[in-house]
Structure 1
Amino acid sequence: MKVFNPRAYMIGLLYTILAHNFVAALGLANITTELGLRLSPGARIILPNSPDFANATYRWSTFAEPRLSVVVEIATEEDAAETVKYANEQKFPFIAIGGGHGVTTSLANLHYGIEIWLHRLNWTIISEDGDTATIGGGIIAGNLIQALWQKGKYAVTGSCECTSYLGPLLGAGHAVLQGKYGYAMDQLVSLHLVTADGELLDVSASDPDPDLFWALQGAGHNFGIVTSVTTKIHDIPDQGLWAHEDYFYGRDSIENLFETWNQLLPRQPPTVAIVGFILRNASMDAVNPVVVLSLMQENVSRVDPIYTEPFRNANPISVSSGFGTYRDIPRWLRFDFNNPVYCTTRNVSALHFPVGLRRWNITTQRMVYDAFAAITAGNSSFNASEFLLEGFPVQGVKAVPEDSTAYPWRGDNLIAYPLLRYYTNMSLDHTAIEVGEGFRRKLLEGSGSEELHSYVNYALGDESPEQIYGYEEWRLDKLKELKKKYDPERRFSFYEPI
């Protein structure tokens, strides 16, 4: 794979020049005085000719990026509200950005807009009783984990340290702790929200009209900019002790592996999580992909043999085990701040094609493995791709009534998806989408269902509203009515719009 892509570089350079000219042509250059006077002293307006513009607009994936002309680096929640009011007055599109990990085609529908950069809203304030925390809307998951850890607490967060905390939460927020507590969104007590007309609202389940709180739990990207939340937090048990056992499986063990995993599903306890990856690892197999499986358990220094022995008997190439704390989980899964795939590599397009499942179809998983082997073979542009297999515990998720939030897929036990990665090259985008959709068709056909369940936080953007927000007519009707009520001009429509 090439380290430098001159075509992508020239496109980026051309975009920067055009964005700068666009700013001047529309009079957005005056934003520094017009909007600047309305912002707090700590806020900053960043234009395309600033050396900070590239970092302020950086995204994990270059696929379907929004085209941004101005960044407003806010310092207070009120700054977000003032920026929305200004954008409405000037009829400029806008988007709020936390970690910059969202990947969906709808982001590319934003042309020459304003980015509201949330990263300085990064506080964590624990309540006196220690049961809740108020968290700023720009905090990164790894920083939140660290802040709570120092106080002997943890919250339901994603496992990837460099993503935002609130972005995934608004689409459910699945996590290793969901077996005990439910999704991240299920922990919410209240949200501080900037509405489409620039007003600041406090939203909670106890409101006279709780429907907005309902919608923010699973379809939240459509209804406002969440500048802070108050959420439940929990005492860390046993000094945060976790154990893990990791397996590498070769091509001859695919059927045994997934049959073993299926057998565990009905008896997987809330303290055991399983995450797998199909990927290339030449040190394990120079010719074929391998399946890497991590089996993790809380409150023990060794994963219980009742769970590990079946996987050991499924003929792995190698087995390793160890223990640590909850804070080590991102590193074990390669989701830590320093990981090149999920956090540090730039100028890479990354696309996901998620499918929610009840169990693994063994024949389908063989087909998926073989197709992945073919598409990543040799010097393929896609040879740094991976296929993710997520099996977090579900007891806490299914304890919450399905109609109590906008999120529709509580009945699923697994999420599977290819993560197609390649150095930025627009000529490969169409091929990547064809390949990814082919994987998704295989998974859906193997599930025995005609209904695609696409987790909104991973969705590509070509799905129907039903495939993201649910097939129940009442659920979609409710979301559409709430959208008309709270965002009639569809100002929040750049991430999986309803």
Structure 2
Amino acid sequence: MEVVAAVAAWAVTSVCQNAGSEHWLSAVCRRDGNATDLAGRLSPGAAIYTPGSDGFINATSRWSVFDAPTVNIVVVPATENDVAETVKYANEQDVPFLAVTGGHGAITTVGRMKTGIEIWMNHLQDIEISADGASAKIGGGSLSKRILDTLWAAGKQTVTGSCECTSLLGPGLGGGHGFLQGRHGLIADQFLSMNIVFANGSLHHIDKKTDADLWWAMQGAGHNFGIVTSVTVKIYDIEYSDWAYEMFTVTSDKVEKFYQTINAAIPNNGSLPVNVIHYGYFYNDPTIDSKGPVTAFWILQEGATSVDSAYTQPFHDLGPFATEAGSGNYLDLPVWTDLDNSAAPCQHTGFANTRFPVDTQTYDPQAMRKAYDLFAKASLETPAFNGSFFLIEGYSLQGVKAIPSDTTAVPFRDGNLLIAPVIRWDPSDSTLAQKAADLGNELRNIVFEASGQSELLTYVNYAFGDETKQNWYGFEQWRQDKLLAVKDKYDPLRKFSFYAPIA
């Protein structure tokens, strides 16, 4: 605590030395009849970071730096009330604010936050399991790895994102896919109650009984209505401790057969068995295939020490370049699938990473071939895109589809597959941004046009930012009307309009 307080004091001194008397930051430094310094409002454990400090650099680093928000000062709350006080202060100074947890929100709309306050939720990571073991209260800044480990040690688990370094609430407020969704539904489906700071800086405890419409909206479009400082979620006894995987590396000459095999492996209703997950991506690796992208594809099975050959044999029959198999427990899944804290998706290395998602019901092998060929051609013509990849995710869906579609703001529960090109490049080359957007959208459109769907369905947590509100939150007019009504009630001044805004 003393160290954190000392850092905060140093940071405030830095602000005072660099802010002119007319700058809004100057109010951090003074105490008079009209303005109270921000540091004096915060708890002793809170911190304030300014540009140039190590704390500021850590707090503002992002997985994707393209169209990142412009931050003048970072507040690191130590209590939920610190969040409320920071929002009140920002309102008094008429400056924007944005809450950040894992730093993986790559949607370009966050770049509309200019010269504002970042509220870095990093210190709000407490996890409290209820006495009856049926729920856990989780701090708004908690990351998946901490949650997984804490619950597992208590013989419990819940639905989190697949990546260890993302937060629970970042994806959860937009629905939130995860490895356990086949059994229990999306992350948002686990919410029981939450503490939330509204746009006026007031801190409230809410649940379904408090305001049914707001609760509905928080489960799928929650970034638009407040800052969730803690959430209470359902947790479950660990029913199956064993997990197994097989991974296949497939070269570009087998694209059509590969996707035909996946389609054949999924029953007619489009759902994998509740204990089976498909996860993969294709990427450039000329040491394996100089003619086109290479595919890494995992089959994961719960409750097994080896994946049932009924699920894997068809892929062995393809003659993959390489295979790998192993077993362990649920905590090993991020390591197997390159989603752990040491893997590339968890590194903030200064690159732009933009995603272009589309939900589909099945793979079109010819369309996937077209996407592979375009991906290879673009990588050859623009070597700066060589680090790009293309996600192909097929989660089990029984728990997701069991939730009636109209009971939450999550719009597309019937989508069987989540497909998303991820275009990666060095943003220091300003000529690449438009090329990257064009390539990502062209790849996405290839998949969409072959899907037979009349509308583009996009997972909001992967969104690029040029999609419509309907693409993010559903095409039914009643959905759009209901979201707007909740927005008008709880955020009439549009303070929360940076992450996939509904208005």
Q: TM-score, normalised on structure 1?
A: 0.93
* Residue deviations 1:274-294 (CA, integer Å, cap 9, x gap): 011101223422442111100
Q: Structure 2 CA distance, aligned partners of 1:345 and 1:86?
A: 30
Q: Structure 1 CA distance, aligned partners of 2:446 and 2:139?
A: 40
* 1:453 partnered with 2:457: yes
Q: Structure 2 CA distance, aligned partners of 1:35 and 1:345?
A: 29
The offset of 1:383, in angstroms, is: 0.4
Q: Judging changes above 3 Å, is the alpha-carbon distance between structure 1 residues 298 and 433 closer, same or farther for their aligned structure 2 residues?
A: same
SS class of match (1:237): coil
* 1:250 partnered with 2:254: no
Q: Structure 2 CA distance, aligned partners of 1:235 and 1:23?
A: 56
SS class of match (2:122): coil
Alignment partner, residue 488 of structure 2: 484
Q: Structure 2 CA distance, aligned partners of 1:446 and 1:23?
A: 57
Contact 1:251 1:289 in 2 (8 A): yes
* 1:26 partnered with 2:27: no
* 1:380 partnered with 2:377: no
Alignment partner, residue 194 of structure 1: 197
Q: Which amino acid aligns with 2:101?
A: G
Q: Structure 1 CA distance, aligned partners of 2:242 and 2:28?
A: 51
Alignment partner, residue 86 of structure 1: 89
The offset of 1:264, in angstroms, is: 2.1
Within 5 Å, which residues of 2 pair with 1:294-305?
294-305=298-309
Within 5 Å, which residues of 2 pair with 1:353-392?
353-377=356-380, 380-392=383-395
Contact 1:275 1:392 in 2 (8 A): yes
* Residue deviations 1:323-365 (CA, integer Å, cap 9, x gap): 11111111111111011x2012411110000001111111111
Alignment partner, residue 276 of structure 1: 280
Deviates further, 293-302 or 229-238 = 229-238
Q: Structure 1 CA distance, aligned partners of 2:449 and 2:351?
A: 30
Within 5 Å, which residues of 2 pair with 1:167-206?
167-206=170-209
* 1:396 partnered with 2:399: yes
The offset of 1:309, in angstroms, is: 1.1
The offset of 1:473, in angstroms, is: 0.3
Q: Judging changes above 3 Å, is the alpha-carbon distance between structure 1 residues 23 and 214 closer, same or farther for their aligned structure 2 residues?
A: farther
Q: Structure 2 CA distance, aligned partners of 1:379 and 1:93?
A: 37
Q: Structure 2 CA distance, aligned partners of 1:379 and 1:363?
A: 24
Q: Structure 2 CA distance, aligned partners of 1:452 and 1:94?
A: 31
Within 5 Å, which residues of 2 pair with 1:5-154?
25-32=22-29, 34-154=37-157
Q: Structure 2 CA distance, aligned partners of 1:60 and 1:345?
A: 5
The offset of 1:377, in angstroms, is: 2.8
Q: Which amino acid aligns with 1:484?
A: D
Contact 1:249 1:291 in 2 (8 A): yes
Q: Judging changes above 3 Å, is the alpha-carbon distance between structure 1 residues 199 and 399 closer, same or farther for their aligned structure 2 residues?
A: same
The offset of 1:256, in angstroms, is: 1.1
Give the CA RMSD over aligned residues.
1.8
Give the alignment partner of residue 213 of structure 2, picking from 211, 214, 217: 211
SS class of match (1:377): helix
* 1:155 partnered with 2:152: no
Contact 2:168 2:187 in 1 (8 A): no
Within 5 Å, which residues of 2 pair with 1:265-344?
265-266=266-267, 268-339=272-343, 341-344=344-347
Alignment partner, residue 7 of structure 2: none
Q: Structure 2 CA distance, aligned partners of 1:205 and 1:224?
A: 16
Contact 1:22 1:69 in 2 (8 A): no
Q: Which amino acid aligns with 1:336?
A: D
Q: Structure 2 CA distance, aligned partners of 1:262 and 1:218?
A: 28
SS class of match (1:302): coil
Q: Judging changes above 3 Å, is the alpha-carbon distance between structure 1 residues 138 and 96 closer, same or farther for their aligned structure 2 residues?
A: same
The offset of 1:249, in angstroms, is: 0.9
* Residue deviations 1:102-151 (CA, integer Å, cap 9, x gap): 01111111110001110100011000111100000001111111111111
* Residue deviations 1:175-234 (CA, integer Å, cap 9, x gap): 111000000100111111000111111111122x31111000000000000000000011
* Residue deviations 1:245-288 (CA, integer Å, cap 9, x gap): 00011112111111111122226211100011101223422442
SS class of match (1:351): strand
Q: Structure 2 CA distance, aligned partners of 1:418 and 1:253?
A: 19
Contact 1:219 1:406 in 2 (8 A): yes
SS class of match (2:380): coil
SS class of match (2:91): helix
Number of residues of Structure 1 aligned to a counterpart in Structure 2: 479
Q: TM-score, normalised on structure 2?
A: 0.92
Could you tell me the percent identity over the aligned residues?
A: 44
Contact 1:364 1:442 in 2 (8 A): yes
Alignment partner, residue 4 of structure 1: none
Deviates further, 66-75 or 342-351 = 342-351
Which segments of 5 or more consecutive residues in structure 1 lack a partner in the other structure?
A: 1-16
The offset of 1:73, in angstroms, is: 0.7
